[in-house]
Amino acid sequence: AQKITQTQPGMFVQEKEAVTLDCTYDTSDQSYGLFWYKQPSSGEMIFLIYQGSYDEQNATEGRYSLNFQKARKSANLVISASQLGDSAMYFCAMSYTGGFKTIFGAGTRLFVKA
């Protein structure tokens, strides 16, 4: 069965520092996609970054990068130079072949301190 695990319920980071949010996944599929979404306190879901299972390079989008370690089945999100506006809930998600579905982890709440 497919599974996404986020083991950090909450994280604190000082403004302007980098932070890593952990995500591990479990799947027997060879083709899958890994995503990170941000949910601010206003409640909307915002797509941040994507990594395909066959992509050899780690994905980057501005201050976001995805540290993809396929053998360890981990897909950690790295946010560089944290800003106060980064305070939010962050969800790791995986879509997988054979189903038109994306499963989500339980989320990590990030607090950025001034």
Provide the binding-site residues for another protein, judged by CB under 8 A.
Answer: 4, 31-33, 35, 37, 43-47, 50, 52, 91, 93, 95, 97, 99-107
> Is the Cβ of residue 40 or residue 69 nearer to another protein in the bound state?
40
CB of 85 to another protein, least distance (A): 18
CB atoms within 10 A of CB 106: 13
> Is the Cβ of residue 17 or residue 29 nearer to another protein in the bound state?
29
> Is the Cβ of residue 14 or residue 37 nearer to another protein in the bound state?
37
CB of 16 to another protein, least distance (A): 27
CB of 91 to another protein, least distance (A): 6
Cα gap 68→52, rounded to integer Å = 9
Cα gap 78→51, rounded to integer Å = 13
Q: Are 21 and 90 in contact (CB under 8 A)?
A: yes
CB of 1 to another protein, least distance (A): 11
Please choose, from the candidates 96, 97, 92, 67, the residue with its C-alpha nearest in 3D space to the C-alpha of residue 79.
67
> Is the Cβ of residue 16 or residue 94 nearer to another protein in the bound state?
94
Cα gap 18→81, rounded to integer Å = 5
